[in-house]
């Protein structure tokens, strides 16, 4: 008997799609079956009315993402009776995996109300709970997750087997009788009693508690207790980097101004950390020198139970020493965290992979860290890449991430940390193997940063596959094009690429660039005037070094002598003059550092970007109508010298530091935007793309958009503008260069 086969592709496993189709088929009076297989969801029916096909897309479950609905023919050996949910079939990985999702309203109510799951920290259903963090293999079935050791009790089995139940085929389904358990531990010993109550008692007493969450351990303390905050900073060796906060929504309103856009971001299934404007009521130690706070809502039943019992705001920061990977295993936590926590909230469900919290900003919408709740989501390949080969891109040295291209989709991994750290490098290698195995990825080529000293590049060189080197800033441009679906034949785009440092096509260090190009090639049109980086890498940690180089380049050495009288500037000047460990760079990031130093932030920086974040916070307190400083122009060079001279005149005239900080931001935005506008209005470029880590700065982002008003502008929203998005750009560049005869490094300086 002939029938219709319907293939549904996308994020359709682990989201309740089969019971949804079962109910939909019942409503349309259809007979046949639905099942999971390596390519997604497969439906076989005797007939497929148009209304049924339309409902597949329009009524899909909340966590589902339907990429395609494809029709074909099938044959039934026997006439089907009714509509059934068949067992999963096949091996391999051709479909998407659902990210972990925050606890849904139904499960939140269930843990608070009388019933068998009241107070149970591992309650979940089809619409929420762990997914990627517990997954070991595909298809997504319980046996392939870290829930495999927990045999379902009869009550959970009945829910799991009932298509009408919201827990039908919910792989992590559990209850206190059969699922993971929670306990409180001190000094290696499990403590009797309620673990939530014991943790809350420690938190109220000003102690530090390690909490095993969804993608790793957090370190928690009372956000209103200055002594506890100082203790945590001391033990974690994190002197200034802001702490993330967790609280129920009502408590967050007390400490932060939450816009409608902020609330939408906070309530999303990804439950990220959202940067919001603080009310200034919490201790300064939460975010020293900052006006913004990173806040999130509780996203697991454990967090909800803990916050309900604590009734306040908690610091919830990664369970690690600063710079190291987040801890995920119980024994690992005991070994690495015991010296700086007072107690542990433990459980016995394993975490399959480390997933830090995602970090986003709601206005303008942007992702700063791509991690838990967002991975492993995919990005459709732009038009013209339908037949792209399988590419593995390995990203850069900082903010490590990898990207896989397969079946017309690009999959950007979770944040893997900075590969300067040996432990983060180990995690990087594990992640490469994990993703390749999990998604059955068989790369035709490897894309890497063109810098031979990057550890990710060296890893690619050792894989024995064709290698495509991609210059750093070209990868940034391509990542922005890809996220915006820019067609392969869409024409050249001018990219304003502002970041820290990256190897340029002329062998020097770039970072403040105007590129004209597309996926396969790009040309450097303009750039900041190169200035020495005294001490090379040390210049990124000590902003005063950049101030010295910038003032000397502007022939304001006497001013440097006065400001930096207590610094070894004589030795550095000798090194710059001799070209010793003082490479030239056009870095916008280092220009930010220099200007922050001019306004009082001499360093050292305790985390990447601290000076620039401080400068932005300062500028945000200024009136919004301050006139921009001017960048000079001489051919392809955008020269900061006029900025420095105007700054000095302002300072001597008593202009406030916030106004000078604002004028710097406005001048940088205007200088690059004016040059980009000329390229678009002359027809040389079709649009403008903004990328690079400096565009995480919301003020610079807004001022640049204002200066580009009336032009088509491409920006990052779901892919980090920083180096966390590099791998996506590398992958698209490598895919575009598969044409015969395409030069290996078509970026010109």
pLDDT tens-digit readout, 328-375: 999 999 999 999 999 999 999 999 999 999 999 999 999 999 999 999
> What single DSSP character describes residue 97?
-
DSSP per position, 148-212: TTSPPPHHHHHHHH-TTSTTTT-TT---TTTS--EEEEETTEEESS-HHHHHHHHHHTT--EEEE
Shared domain check, 414 and 383: yes
Residue 609 domain boundaries: 495-714
Instruction: Check if the beta carbon of residue 19 is closer than 8 Å to that of residue 84.
Output: no
599-615: average pLDDT: 93
What is the domain count for the chain? Answer: 5
Residues 215 and 209: their CA atoms lie apart, in Å, by: 17
Residues 506 and 306: their CA atoms lie apart, in Å, by: 55
Instruction: Check if the beta carbon of residue 276 is closer than 8 Å to that of residue 260.
Output: no
- Three-class secondary structure of residue 330 per DSSP: helix
- Three-class secondary structure of residue 85 per DSSP: strand
pLDDT of res. 93? 52
Q: Name the pairing type of β-strands 632-634 and 32-37.
A: unpaired
Instruction: Check if the beta carbon of residue 220 is closer than 8 Å to that of residue 286.
Output: no
Q: Residue 180 — φ and ψ, nearest 5°?
A: -60, 155
Shared domain check, 257 and 325: yes
Is 367 part of any domain?
no
Which CATH number fits the domain that encloses residue 222? Answer: 3.90.870.40
Cross-strand bridge partners of residue 646: none
DSSP per position, 623-672: -TTPPPPPPEEETTEEE-HHHHHHHHHHHHTT--HHHHHHHHHHHHHHHH
Q: How confident is the model at residue 678 (pLDDT cuts 50, 70, 90)?
A: very high
Instruction: Check if the beta carbon of residue 637 is closer than 8 Å to that of residue 529.
Output: yes
Residues 590 and 501: their CA atoms lie apart, in Å, by: 8
More confident residue, 484 or 63: 484
Residue ranges in 207-295 assigned as alpha helix (H): 226-236, 249-255, 260-267
- Three-class secondary structure of residue 748 per DSSP: strand
Residues 746 and 689: their CA atoms lie apart, in Å, by: 19
Is 366 part of any domain?
no
List, in order, residues 6 or more apart from 643 with CB less than 8 Å away: 629, 630, 631, 664, 667
Which CATH number fits the domain that encloses residue 524? Answer: 3.30.420.40
Distance of CA 68 to the CA centre of its chain: 26
Q: Is the pLDDT of residue 462 over 80?
A: yes
Q: Does the bond joining 139 to the residue before it have cis omega, within 30 degrees of 0?
A: yes
Q: How confident is the model at residue 664 (pLDDT cuts 50, 70, 90)?
A: very high
Q: Is the pLDDT of residue 749 over 50?
A: no
Q: Is the pLDDT of residue 415 over 80?
A: yes
Q: Residue 567 — φ and ψ, nearest 5°?
A: -105, 155
Shared domain check, 187 and 306: yes
Q: Is the pLDDT of residue 740 over 60?
A: no
Instruction: Check if the beta carbon of residue 294 is closer than 8 Å to that of residue 244.
Output: yes
Determine which of 74-88, 263-277, 545-559, 644-658 has the lowest per-residue pLDDT on average: 74-88
Residue from 576, 578, 591, 686 nearest 643 by CA: 591
pLDDT of res. 739? 53
Residues 91 and 670: their CA atoms lie apart, in Å, by: 54
650-665: average pLDDT: 97
- Three-class secondary structure of residue 489 per DSSP: coil
How does pLDDT run across 177-190, given as a tens digit for each residue?
A: 999 999 999 999 99
Is 172 part of any domain?
no
pLDDT of res. 666? 97
Shared domain check, 558 and 673: yes
Shared domain check, 459 and 506: no
pLDDT of res. 623? 85
How does pLDDT run across 130-157, given as a tens digit for each residue?
A: 999 999 987 778 999 999 999 999 999 9
Is 144 part of any domain?
yes
Q: Among positive and negative, which fits the CA dihedral 384, 367, 127, 161?
A: positive
Q: How far apart are the first and last CA of the chain?
A: 65
For residue 490, what are the CA distances in angstroms to 155, 545, 599, 687? 56, 42, 43, 10
Residues 690 and 672: their CA atoms lie apart, in Å, by: 10
Q: How confident is the model at residue 717 (pLDDT cuts 50, 70, 90)?
A: very high
Residues 549 and 543: their CA atoms lie apart, in Å, by: 10
Burial code (b: 16+ CB inside 10 Å, e: under 16) for 552-590 equals bbbebeebbeebbeebebeebbebbeeeebbeebbbbbb
Examine the fold and report which residue of 359, 393, 413 is the final residue of a domain before the chain moves on. Answer: 359
Instruction: Write the secondary structure of 36-57 as one string of H (helix), E (strand) and C (coil).
Output: EECCEEEEEECCCCHHHHHHHH
Q: How confident is the model at residue 14 (pLDDT cuts 50, 70, 90)?
A: confident
Shared domain check, 322 and 207: yes
Long-range interactions of 326-333: CB distance < 8 A, separation 24+: 326/215, 326/216, 326/217, 326/354, 326/356, 327/210, 327/216, 327/217, 328/215, 328/216, 328/217, 328/353, 328/354, 330/212, 333/210, 333/212, 333/217
Is 92 part of any domain?
no
Q: How confident is the model at residue 210 (pLDDT cuts 50, 70, 90)?
A: very high
More confident residue, 663 or 626: 663
Instruction: Check if the beta carbon of residue 389 is closer than 8 Å to that of residue 444.
Output: yes
Shared domain check, 125 and 61: no
Residue from 355, 187, 348, 192 nearest 270 by CA: 355
Looking at 299-442, which runs of residues are DSSP E strands? 314-318, 343-347, 359-361, 366-369, 378-380, 391-393, 403-406, 409-412
Q: Is the pLDDT of residue 219 over 90?
A: yes
Is 411 part of any domain?
yes
Which CATH number fits the domain that encloses residue 735? Answer: 3.30.420.360
Which CATH number fits the domain that encloses residue 80? Answer: 3.30.70.100
Q: Name the pairing type of β-strands 522-528 and 747-748.
A: parallel
Shared domain check, 526 and 475: no
Q: Name the pairing type of β-strands 445-449 and 391-393.
A: parallel
Residues 618 and 615: their CA atoms lie apart, in Å, by: 5
More confident residue, 306 or 37: 306
Residues 630 and 652: their CA atoms lie apart, in Å, by: 18
82-89: average pLDDT: 86
Instruction: Check if the beta carbon of residue 106 is closer than 8 Å to that of residue 127.
Output: yes
Cross-strand bridge partners of residue 690: 496
- Surface-to-core class of residue 453, CB atoms within 10 Å of its CB (0-12 exposed, 13-18 middle, 19+ buried): exposed
Tell me what the pLDDT averaged over the chain comes to.
94
Q: How confident is the model at residue 377 (pLDDT cuts 50, 70, 90)?
A: confident
List, in order, residues 6 or more apart from 361 with CB less than 8 Å away: 274, 275, 368, 696, 698
Q: Could you give the dihedral angle defined by the CA atoms of residues 294, 297, 302 and 305, in that order, rounded to the nearest 10 degrees?
A: 120
Shared domain check, 657 and 673: yes
Instruction: Check if the beta carbon of residue 156 is closer than 8 Å to that of residue 169.
Output: no
pLDDT of res. 426? 95
Instruction: Check if the beta carbon of residue 397 is closer than 8 Å to that of residue 455.
Output: yes
pLDDT of res. 11? 87
Q: Among positive and negative, which fits the CA dihedral 724, 726, 728, 729?
A: positive
Count other Cβ atoms within 10 Å, centred on residue 390.
18
pLDDT of res. 36? 85
Angle at 330 between CA 358 and CA 321, to 5 degrees: 55
Q: How confident is the model at residue 624 (pLDDT cuts 50, 70, 90)?
A: confident
Q: Is the pLDDT of residue 95 over 80?
A: no
Shared domain check, 348 and 242: yes
Q: Residue 657 — φ and ψ, nearest 5°?
A: -60, -45
Residues 423 and 431: their CA atoms lie apart, in Å, by: 12
Q: How confident is the model at residue 592 (pLDDT cuts 50, 70, 90)?
A: very high
Is 97 part of any domain?
no
How does pLDDT run across 55-72, given as a tens digit for each residue?
A: 999 999 988 989 889 999
Shared domain check, 636 and 585: yes
Active-site residues, by number, are 18, 36
Is 90 part of any domain?
no
Shared domain check, 685 and 657: yes
- Surface-to-core class of residue 182, CB atoms within 10 Å of its CB (0-12 exposed, 13-18 middle, 19+ buried): buried
């Amino acid at each position: 008997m002939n029938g219709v086969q319907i293939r549904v592709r996308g994020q359709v496993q682990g989201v309740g799609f089969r019971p949804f189709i079962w109910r939909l088929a019942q409503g349309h009076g259809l007979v046949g079956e639905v099942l999971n297989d390596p390519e997604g969801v497969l439906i076989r029916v005797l007939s497929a009315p148009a209304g049924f096909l339309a409902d597949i897309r329009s009524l899909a479950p909340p966590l589902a993402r339907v990429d395609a609905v494809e029709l074909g023919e099938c044959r039934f050996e026997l006439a089907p009776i009714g509509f059934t949910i068949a067992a999963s079939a096949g091996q391999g990985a051709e479909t998407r995996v659902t990210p972990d999702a925050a606890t849904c309203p139904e499960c939140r109510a269930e843990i608070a109300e009388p019933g068998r799951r009241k107070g149970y920290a591992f309650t979940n259903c089809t619409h929420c709970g762990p997914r990627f963090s517990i997954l070991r293999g595909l298809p997504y079935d319980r046996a392939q997750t870290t829930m495999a050791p927990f045999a379902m009790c009869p009550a959970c089995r009945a829910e799991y087997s009932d298509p009408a139940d919201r827990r039908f085929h919910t792989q992590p389904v559990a209850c206190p009788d059969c699922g993971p358990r929670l306990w409180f531990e001190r000094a290696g010993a499990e403590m009797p009693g309620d673990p939530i109550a014991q943790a809350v008692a420690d938190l109220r007493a000003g102690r530090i508690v390690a909490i095993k969450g969804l993608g790793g351990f957090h370190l928690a303390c009372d956000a209103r207790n200055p002594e506890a905050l100082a203790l945590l900073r001391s033990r974690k060796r994190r002197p200034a980097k802001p702490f993330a906060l967790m609280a129920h929504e009502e408590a967050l309103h007390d400490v932060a101004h939450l816009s409608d856009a902020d609330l939408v971001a906070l309530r999303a299934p990804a439950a990220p950390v959202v940067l919001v404007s603080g009310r200034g009521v919490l201790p300064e130690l939460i975010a020293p020198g900052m006006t913004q706070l990173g806040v999130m809502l509780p996203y697991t039943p454990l967090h909800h139970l803990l916050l309900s019992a604590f009734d306040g705001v908690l610091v919830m920061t990664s369970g690690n020493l600063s710079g190291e990977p987040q801890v995920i295993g119980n024994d690992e936590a005991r070994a690495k965290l015991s010296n700086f926590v007072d107690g542990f909230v433990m459980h016995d469900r394993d975490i399959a992979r480390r997933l830090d919290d995602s970090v986003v900003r709601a206005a303008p919408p942007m992702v700063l860290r791509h991690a838990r709740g967002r991975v492993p989501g995919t990005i459709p390949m732009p038009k013209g890449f339908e037949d792209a080969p399988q590419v593995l891109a390995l990203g850069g040295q900082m903010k490590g991430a990898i990207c896989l291209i397969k079946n017309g989709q690009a999959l950007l991994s979770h944040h893997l940390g900075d590969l300067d750290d040996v432990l983060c490098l180990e995690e990087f290698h594990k992640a490469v193997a994990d993703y390749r195995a999990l998604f059955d990825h068989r790369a035709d080529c490897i894309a890497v940063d063109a810098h031979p000293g990057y550890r990710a590049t060296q890893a690619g060189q050792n894989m024995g596959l064709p290698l495509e080197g991609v210059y750093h800033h070209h990868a940034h441009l391509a990542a922005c094009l890809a996220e915006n679906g820019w067609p392969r034949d869409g024409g050249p785009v001018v990219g304003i690429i502002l970041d820290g440092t990256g190897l340029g096509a002329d062998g020097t260090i770039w970072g403040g660039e105007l590129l004209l190009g597309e996926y396969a090639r790009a040309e450097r049109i303009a750039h900041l005037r190169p200035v020495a980086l005294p001490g090379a890498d040390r210049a990124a940690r000590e902003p005063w070094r950049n101030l010295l180089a910038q003032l000397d380049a502007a022939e304001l050495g006497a001013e440097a002598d006065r400001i930096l009288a207590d610094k070894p500037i004589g030795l550095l000047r000798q090194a710059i003059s001799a070209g010793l460990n003082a490479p030239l760079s056009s870095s916008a990031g280092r220009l930010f550092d220099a200007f922050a130093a001019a306004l009082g932030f001499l360093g050292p920086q305790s985390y990447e970007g601290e000076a620039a974040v401080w400068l932005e916070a300062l500028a945000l307190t200024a009136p919004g109508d301050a006139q921009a400083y001017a960048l000079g122009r001489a051919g392809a060079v955008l020269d900061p010298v006029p900025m420095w001279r105007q700054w000095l005149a302002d300072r001597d005239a008593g202009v406030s530091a916030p106004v000078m900080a604002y004028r710097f931001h406005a001048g940088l935005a205007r200088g690059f935007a004016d040059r980009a506008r000329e390229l678009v209005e002359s027809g040389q470029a079709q649009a403008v793309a903004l990328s690079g880590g400096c565009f995480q700065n919301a003020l610079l982002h807004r001022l640049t958009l204002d200066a580009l008003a009336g032009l088509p502008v491409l920006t990052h929203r779901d892919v980090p503008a920083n180096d966390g998005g590099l791998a996506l750009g590398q992958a698209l560049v490598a895919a575009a260069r598969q044409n015969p005869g395409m030069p290996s490094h078509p970026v010109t300086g």
